[in-house]
Each structure stands twice: as structure tokens, then as C-alpha cells.
């Protein structure tokens, strides 16, 4: 069967390998498999969320409240914006897809950093738009600005702050100076999937969505419950923007695009900020161990503002070999070879998981 031509060169997103697959393929006991590949919260989610979802389990026969009133109210209160400024998606991924489909088409181009979240490119390709990437792997605003000024057809700019899969983050004041130079008809998508981490580590990286969309009405801020809140399996994310943008995105949303248990989980998760703060503190404490470890073994790492760290190797080692050998020992990490980098991305685990990582990594690296 023939499909739309835009699909011909479109690769399917390769998700982090699930634990079940490693158990099946390598015969490793599931309790010995450690997944450090998808930036999930290793401490799980707030116990209050589990309790609330269990209590609501009998409501599965009912469709969710399609207005998502309660969650929007919770987010509105958290960010001090109006409900009309919020859209909820099955993960912020879905909201990103709405934004791309609302704004890009074969006559336009989408600008992004060379090494950033792979879904930006996939959604863009679905629309037939051109993709422009900076020469630098990490976010480089002067390069982006130059490309923006040379290409009049750019409809969307992606800024991933902090950036996945490299972990770097720009200062908010530099982002603002950049946004000053962007045309009001260009949509700037600020992906804040790791903002809780970035702003915990460094206040200069904190983005306030209310201030952002007020000063720059052509921006949309994306947030998710999948990372800091530990709800990756519940598929819940959100976008915050001026009402005209939110209204446009709503035209692309199917009714009931998120389950009622996911809504409940997100609502309760928002009420347990202490849990998130505890996770943030432990994350960066554990990340220090990775930095010390890298220095000890003599390879590089990228200073990270997230819940993962990117480890870079010299030519004497191959990241694909390292990832493969770790996998055979039951540790799943992300090889960044596909991004033209000799590096792996490792999600910061619990203290016990990290100790095990160090122990096994030594055996495959030496
Ligand atoms: C994880 C992630 C998301 C969103 O994940 P969802 O689970 O779809 O909410 C968005 N952007 C980046 C950069 C991410 O790493």
C-alpha cells in the first residue's frame, strides 16, 4: 500500500528498552535488571498518588471530565495563570505534536539544536516541513539566531531547557535576549520537561511560564508529570501559552485524550511538592558520584541540569560496545551513537542502582 510521501523517510522513535525485553533476550532475572535509559524517577511517585489512584480504580467505566477542570485548576494555581492558558495532553509529547501540526507545513522550516529530543524531528517530518539544525550539538543561541535570520520561512523554534539527551541548560536571561529578536509569528516551543531539575540546581535557569508568555506571547511552555513527578506510565503533560495558541491546539485534540486515573494522579502529584523536592536533592547528590567516577576513570561528562548524565568517551572506546556490554549484565542505558556522538546517557538511579552501575561499568570499561 502507498502511504503519504512524508512517511517514506520517517524513522520510528526508538524508546528505551523495557526491562521485560532484557529478561527475555538475555535470561537475566528481572530483579537484576536496572533501567537507566528513560529518565524515569527511580523513587517512583508520591505514595499519596498511588493511594488516590487505587481509590478511584472503580471509576474506569466512566469517561474522564473532558474539560479537565480540576487538573487545569491545579496547574493554574501552581503557575498563577488562567485555565484558558492551559492544555493537557497524553504526555507533553502529545502537546508538542499538537503545536507542530498547528504551525508547520511543507512551506515552512523548523529550527532546533543538533542534538535534542528526537520527537521534535519526527513530528516535524510528519508535516512535511524542512528541518534546520545548528552545527553545535548543544544549544547555541548565536548559531540559532543566525540561521533564523537567514531563513525567512521558519515557523517553529525548539528550545529544550534543560536539554535531553545532553543535559545542558542555558541561562534564562540569555533565552530572553534571544526571544527579543524573534518575530511574533514564529512559535517558540520551550520544552521544560526537566525544569524542576534545572531550576533546583541553578535559579538562573528557572523559567516562569507566566512571565514568559506575558513578555513573549509567541511562546508555549511544555511541562510533564513523567520525570520529576514520577508518572511516566500515566502519560500526562501540559502546555501553557496565550489563549489564542491554546485554542488553536485544542482543535487538534481528540476528546478524552487522557485517562481519568492519569488526571487523578497528576492532580494529587501537584499537591505533594515535598516529594518532588526530596527527589531533586537526592538526584543531584547521586549525580556527584557519577562525576567523581568519570574523573577517576578518566572520561568526560557534560555538566547536567537533569536526572541523567551524558558520559563521553575517547576513540579508544566505543559507546555502542559499552552500552551493549552493560545490557548483557542487566543495565539498560542509552547509546548516543545515533546522534553522532561517542557517548552514553545514563539516568541517575537510586543510590543502590548507581553503586551497581559503577561496579559493572568498571568491568566492561577496563
Ligand atoms: C520526557 C520528555 C518529554 C515528555 O515526555 P512525556 O512522557 O510525553 O510527557 C518531553 N520532552 C523531553 C525533552 C523529554 O525528555
Burial group, residue 38, by CB count within 10 angstroms (0-12, 13-18, 19+): middle
Q: For position 16, what pLDDT does the model report?
A: 75
CA of 96 to the centre of ligand 1 (A): 9
Local confidence pLDDT in tens for the 366 residues of the chain: 999 999 988 888 877 788 888 888 888 898 889 999 999 999 999 999 999 999 999 999 999 999 999 999 999 999 999 999 999 999 999 999 999 999 999 999 999 999 999 999 999 999 999 999 999 999 999 999 999 999 999 999 999 999 999 999 999 999 999 999 999 999 999 999 999 999 999 999 999 999 999 999 999 999 999 999 999 999 999 999 999 999 999 999 999 999 999 999 999 999 999 999 999 999 999 999 999 999 999 999 999 999 999 999 999 999 999 999 999 999 999 999 999 999 999 999 999 999 999 999 999 998
Q: Is residue 305 within 6 Å of ligand 1 at its C-beta?
A: no
Alpha helices, DSSP H only, in the chain?
19-26, 47-56, 69-79, 92-103, 118-126, 141-150, 172-179, 195-201, 209-215, 243-250, 260-270, 273-297, 319-328, 351-365
User: How many other C-beta atoms are found inside a 10 Å radius of the C-beta of residue 189?
Assistant: 23
d(CA 74, CA 268) in angstroms, rounded, equals: 9
Q: For position 20, what pLDDT does the model report?
A: 86
Q: Is residue 41 within 6 Å of ligand 1 at its C-beta?
A: no
Give the chain's radius of gyration (CA, Å): 20
Cβ proximity of 110 and 100 under 8 Å: yes
- Assign residue 189 a region (left: φ > 0; alpha: ψ between -120 and 50; beta: otherwise): beta
- Domains of the chain are 5-44+274-365 (3.90.1150.10), 47-272 (3.40.640.10)
pLDDT digits (tens, 9 = 90+) for 150-177: 999 999 999 999 999 999 999 999 999 9
Q: Whose CA is nearest to atom 2 of ligand 1?
A: 193
CA of 21 to the centre of ligand 1 (A): 22
Cβ proximity of 22 and 327 under 8 Å: yes
CA of 226 to the centre of ligand 1 (A): 7
CA of 219 to the centre of ligand 1 (A): 18
Q: For position 106, what pLDDT does the model report?
A: 96
321 CA to centre of own chain: 26
* Residue with the three cell numbers 534564562: 172
Which of 71, 93, 195 most suits a substitution to test ligand 1, by most atoms within 8 Å of the C-beta?
A: 93
Cβ proximity of 360 and 36 under 8 Å: no
Q: Which atom of ligand 1 is nearest to the CA of 237?
A: 9
Q: Which atom of ligand 1 is nearest to the CA of 235?
A: 7
What is the pTM (predicted TM-score) of this model? 0.96
* Residue with the three cell numbers 487523578: 264
Q: Whose CA is nearest to atom 3 of ligand 1?
A: 193
Q: Whose CA is nearest to atom 11 of ligand 1?
A: 193
- Assign residue 254 a region (left: φ > 0; alpha: ψ between -120 and 50; beta: otherwise): beta
User: How many other C-beta atoms are found inside a 10 Å radius of the C-beta of residue 262?
Assistant: 22
Q: For position 13, what pLDDT does the model report?
A: 83
111 CA to centre of own chain: 17
User: How many other C-beta atoms are found inside a 10 Å radius of the C-beta of residue 93?
Assistant: 21
Q: Which long-range contacts (CB under 8 A, 24 or more apart) does 202-207 make?
A: 202/169, 202/305, 204/171, 204/172, 204/173, 205/161, 205/162, 205/169, 205/170, 205/171, 205/172, 205/305, 206/172, 207/161, 207/172, 207/175
Amino acid at each position: 500500500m502507498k502511504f503519504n510521501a512524508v512517511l517514506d523517510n520517517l524513522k520510528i522513535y526508538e524508546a528505551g528498552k523495557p526491562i521485560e525485553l532484557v529478561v527475555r533476550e538475555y535470561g537475566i532475572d528481572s530483579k537484576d535488571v536496572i533501567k537507566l535509559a528513560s529518565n524515569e524517577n527511580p523513587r517512583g511517585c508520591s505514595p499519596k498518588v498511588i493511594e488516590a489512584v487505587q481509590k478511584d480504580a472503580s471509576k474506569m467505566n466512566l469517561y474522564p471530565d473532558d474539560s479537565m477542570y480540576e487538573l487545569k485548576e491545579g496547574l493554574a494555581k501552581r503557575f498563577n495563570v488562567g485555565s484558558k492558558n492551559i492544555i493537557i495532553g497524553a504526555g507533553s509529547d502529545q502537546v508538542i505534536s499538537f503545536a507542530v501540526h498547528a504551525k508547520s507545513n511543507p512551506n515552512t522550516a523548523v529550527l532546533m539544536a543538533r542534538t535534542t529530543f528526537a520527537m521534535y524531528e519526527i513530528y516535524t517530518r510528519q508535516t512535511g516541513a524542512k528541518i534546520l539544525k545548528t552545527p553545535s550539538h548543544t544549544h547555541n543561541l548565536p548559531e540559532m539566531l543566525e540561521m533564523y535570520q537567514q531563513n525567512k520561512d521558519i515557523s517553529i523554534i525548539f528550545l529544550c531547557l534543560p536539554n535531553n539527551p545532553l543535559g545542558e541548560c542555558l541561562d534564562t536571561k540569555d533565552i530572553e535576549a534571544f526571544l527579543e529578536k524573534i518575530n511574533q509569528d514564529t512559535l517558540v516551543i520551550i520544552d521544560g520537561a526537566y525544569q524542576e531539575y534545572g531550576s533546583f540546581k541553578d535559579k538562573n535557569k528557572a523559567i516562569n511560564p507566566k512571565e514568559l508568555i506575558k513578555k513573549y506571547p509567541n511562546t508555549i511552555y511544555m511541562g510533564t508529570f513523567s520525570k520529576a513527578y514520577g508518572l511516566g506510565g500515566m502519560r500526562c503533560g501540559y502546555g501553557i501559552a496565550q489563549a489564542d495558541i491554546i485554542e488553536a491546539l485544542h482543535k487538534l485534540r481528540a476528546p478524552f485524550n487522557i485517562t481519568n486515573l492519569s488526571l487523578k494522579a497528576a492532580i494529587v502529584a501537584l499537591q505533594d511538592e515535598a516529594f518532588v523536592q526530596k527527589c531533586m536533592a537526592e538526584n543531584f547528590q547521586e549525580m556527584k558520584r557519577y562525576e567523581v567516577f568519570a574523573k577517576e576513570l578518566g572520561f568526560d561528562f557534560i555538566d547536567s541540569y537533569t536526572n541523567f548524565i551524558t558520559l563521553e568517551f575517547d576513540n579508544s572506546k566505543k559507546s555502542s560496545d559499552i552500552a551493549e556490554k552493560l545490557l548483557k549484565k542487566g543495565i539498560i542505558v542509552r547509546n548516543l551513537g545515533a546522534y553522532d556522538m561517542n557517548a552514553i546517557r545514563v539516568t541517575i538511579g537510586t543510590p543502590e542502582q548507581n553503586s551497581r552501575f559503577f561496579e559493572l561499568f568498571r568491568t566492561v570499561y577496563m
